Amino acid sequence: MYARIYQCVAQIPKGRVSSYGRISKLAGGCSARQVGYAMSALPEGSEVPWQRVVNSKGGISPRSDGESHQLQRWLLEDEGVEFGPDGNIDMGRFGWPEETPAPRAAKGLFDA
């Protein structure tokens, strides 16, 4: 399962982010929490871009070590990701993959 998660995370382009929940859906068969566990299980020096996975609000989830969330923000800012005044990332602007809105029916198209 972790290998599937890592494959999905590896596809997130530089300057973009995805949520734990979105990665869990892309990988299939796991929860957002399991994606978090997979990110924390990455060995030091891994090339998987762990910093590109954030919570559903576009925020960096605090960690018990107290410092890696600061590193994550720095790495994302270095890639061009911007944080709002609330400390969150605009997922509409920086989220990956982009959500495509459902097509709207033309007004009157289905009117009898």
pLDDT tens readout for residues 60-104: 988 776 677 899 999 999 999 999 999 999 999 999 998 655 555
Answer whether 41's CB lies under 8 Å from 7's CB: no
Structural domains of the chain sorted by starting position, each given as residue range(s) with its CATH number in brackets: 2-94 (1.10.10.10)
pTM over 0.75: yes
Rounded to 10 deg, the angle between the 20-27 and 32-40 helix axes is: 100
Name residue, tokens 């997922």.
91
E runs forming strands in 29-81 = 53-54
